[in-house]
């Protein structure tokens, strides 16, 4: 079927309805490759978070409740997980309407699982989760969210995670690995201590032999994890190149490693860690970065591929401009504080207008399995909306769009752009 502007109906009223219904349906139907999450298969034990108490104590909601309610954060941390969840429920859902995106997300999850949100009852949800078999539940969630697989965040500097990889790891068709290396690029002294703890004998000064050790470390973990990409999150003051150990590690270890393995390097730039340390995971902030550093990386290393997401809203336009200049740069996602409807809409529109279909519109960043049930439906709806506007604009020129065209475009956005940016033999 071709969708075409009806010559007699310049208002495009009918056509517009057809496009909207068609795009909505296709956007629902095409599975997503969720390229950055913090969820795990069951073999990761307690690292896999799921269920209503985890949903309610998501760090986005902890930050929100601390701002809205009186309890000092140290007291909150002393409560059990369930008590914390009750506290969040009481203050963010009962004493005021839960209109923030993170609150709304919990309700979308509950609705997706068949609960009547109007009952405002946690008991029923707790009972439901306590009766689930986790393997079946994972399938239910992925199927309902129409996500084909999720890429994990795999941190070899985390003792609990290391232990899983060494003793208990069980490959799971819904989960793929990404090797995350933040400590390596934040402070060499700390990193070298952590490497030594794992038997990688790197000294406190970054000599050539220490660089060889770093490379061995990366190879050892990549052999074990088979990561789709290498990833780091960085402070907004990230500079490249500079005369710090970070640049030397990037030049001598990270980039050659990524080239040899034929995988991209993902940079997530703009996080100010622990600006309020008491809040722990909920205590991070945001800052603008200078994109000439990403420009330098892309220009100086054309044989490397860079997946880039930026935390500051103010950096988004510049990132689009850079992506137009460097085919080895792929912008992805609306990260963390940007993952709210008004900003997703703005960024998606801007990216489509500047890059066409050559970007990865979203990742879920789910930390709790069930969050796939809200993050994706919320984003899908916005992406569909922006796409509709763009197809309508096209049709005003006399261009026609077939159902197959739309399907192909959505597949690019939802999986192909990511997968073709990975190694050719994905
Ligand atoms: O979005 C989040 O949950 C953040 O806490 C971070 O995990 C961030 O996404 C990251 O990967 O560093
Ligand atoms: Zn993340």
Compute the average pLDDT of residues 305-331: 98
Question: 14: pLDDT confidence band, cut at 50, 70 and 90?
Answer: confident
The whole-number pLDDT of residue 425 equals 47
Confidence check: pLDDT of 6 > 90: no
The whole-number pLDDT of residue 13 equals 60
Which positions ≥6 away from 280 have C-beta within 8 Å?
59, 77, 274
The whole-number pLDDT of residue 8 equals 46
For residues 348, 350, 353 and 357, what is the CA-based torsion angle, rounded to 10 degrees?
Answer: -30
Beta bridge partner(s), residue 269: 234, 310
351-392 pLDDT per residue, tens: 999 999 999 999 999 999 999 999 999 999 999 999 999 999
Compute the average pLDDT of residues 10-29: 85
How far is Cα 285 from Cα 287, in angstroms, rounded to an integer? 7
The whole-number pLDDT of residue 168 equals 86
Direct distance between the N- and C-terminal alpha carbons of the chain, in angstroms, rounded to an integer:
32
Compute the average pLDDT of residues 72-90: 98
Confidence check: pLDDT of 104 > 80: yes
- State the distance from the centre of ligand 2 to the C-alpha of 11, rounded, in angstroms: 43
Question: 16: pLDDT confidence band, cut at 50, 70 and 90?
Answer: confident
Among the bound ligands, name the one nearest to the CA of residue 59: 1
Q: Where are the beta strands (DSSP E) in 235-338?
A: 265-269, 271-272, 285-286, 306-310, 329-331
Cα–Cα distances in angstroms (integers) from residue 135 to residues 107, 172, 372, 415, in the given order: 23, 10, 16, 24
* Average pLDDT in the chain: 96
Annotated domain spans of the chain = 2-422
Beta bridge partner(s), residue 309: 268
Q: Is the CB of 233 under 6 A from ligand 1?
A: yes
Residue 330: name the closest of 339, 338, 322 by CA: 322
Q: Is the CB of 336 under 6 A from ligand 1?
A: yes
CB-CB contact of 35 with 26 (8 Å): no
How far is Cα 37 from Cα 195, in angstroms, rounded to an integer? 25
Residue 166: name the closest of 227, 231, 220 by CA: 220
Q: Is the CB of 364 under 6 A from ligand 1?
A: no
Compute the average pLDDT of residues 271-275: 98
3-state secondary structure of 248: helix
Residue 191: name the closest of 212, 208, 207, 214 by CA: 214
184-194 pLDDT per residue, tens: 999 999 999 99
Of 3-12, 149-158, 398-407, the least confident: 3-12
How far is Cα 32 from Cα 415, in angstroms, rounded to an integer? 6
Question: 4: pLDDT confidence band, cut at 50, 70 and 90?
Answer: low
91-102 pLDDT per residue, tens: 999 999 999 999
The correct CATH number of 2-422 out of 3.40.228.10, 3.20.20.140, 3.30.360.10, 3.40.50.150 is 3.20.20.140
Q: Which residue, by CA, sits nearest to atom 12 of ligand 1?
A: 233
Among the bound ligands, name the one nearest to the CA of residue 367: 1
Residue 139: name the closest of 50, 29, 55, 57 by CA: 50
Separation of CA 349 from chain center: 19
The whole-number pLDDT of residue 1 equals 62
Q: Is the CB of 188 under 6 A from ligand 1?
A: no
- State the distance from the centre of ligand 1 to the C-alpha of 336, rounded, in angstroms: 6
């Amino acid at each position: 079927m071709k969708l075409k502007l009806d010559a007699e109906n310049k208002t495009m009223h009918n056509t517009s309805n057809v496009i909207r219904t068609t795009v909505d349906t296709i956007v629902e139907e095409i599975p997503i490759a969720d390229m950055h999450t913090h969820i795990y298969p069951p073999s990761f034990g307690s690292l896999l978070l799921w269920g209503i108490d985890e949903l309610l104590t998501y760090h986005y909601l902890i930050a929100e409740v601390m701002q809205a309610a009186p309890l000092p954060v140290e007291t909150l941390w002393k409560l059990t997980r369930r008590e914390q969840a009750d506290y969040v429920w009481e203050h963010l859902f009962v004493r005021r309407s839960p209109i923030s995106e993170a609150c709304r997300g919990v309700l979308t999850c509950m609705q997706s699982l068949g609960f009547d949100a109007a009952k405002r009852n946690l008991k029923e949800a707790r009972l439901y989760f306590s009766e689930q078999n986790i393997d079946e539940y994972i399938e239910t969630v992925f199927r309902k969210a129409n996500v084909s697989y999720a890429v994990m965040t795999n941190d070899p500097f985390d003792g609990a995670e290391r232990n899983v990889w060494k003793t208990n790891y069980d490959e799971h068709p819904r989960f793929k690995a990404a090797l995350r290396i933040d400590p390596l690029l934040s402070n060499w002294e700390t990193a070298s201590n952590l490497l030594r703890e794992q038997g990688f004998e790197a000294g406190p000064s970054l000599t050539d032999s220490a660089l060889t050790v770093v490379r061995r470390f990366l190879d050892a973990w990549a052999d074990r994890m088979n990561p789709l990409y290498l990833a780091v999150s960085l402070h907004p003051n990230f500079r490249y190149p500079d005369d710090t150990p970070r640049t030397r590690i990037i030049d001598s270890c990270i980039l050659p490693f990524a080239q040899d393995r034929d995988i991209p390097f993902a940079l997530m730039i703009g996080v100010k860690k622990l600006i309020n340390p008491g809040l722990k995971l909920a205590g991070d902030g945001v800052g603008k970065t200078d994109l000439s550093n990403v420009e330098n990386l892309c220009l100086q290393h054309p044989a490397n591929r860079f997946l880039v997401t930026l935390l500051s809203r103010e950096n988004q336009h510049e990132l689009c401009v850079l992506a137009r200049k460097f085919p080895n740069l792929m912008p992805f996602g609306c990260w963390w504080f940007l993952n709210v409807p008004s900003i997703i809409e703005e960024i998606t529109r801007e990216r489509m207008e500047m890059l066409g279909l050559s970007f990865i519109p979203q990742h879920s960043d789910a930390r709790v399995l069930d969050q796939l049930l809200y993050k994706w439906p919320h984003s899908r709806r916005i992406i569909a909306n922006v796409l509709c506007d763009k197809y309508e604009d096209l049709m005003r020129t006399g261009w026609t769009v077939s159902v197959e065209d739309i399907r192909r475009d959505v597949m690019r956005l939802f999986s192909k752009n990511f997968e073709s940016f990975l190694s050719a033999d994905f």
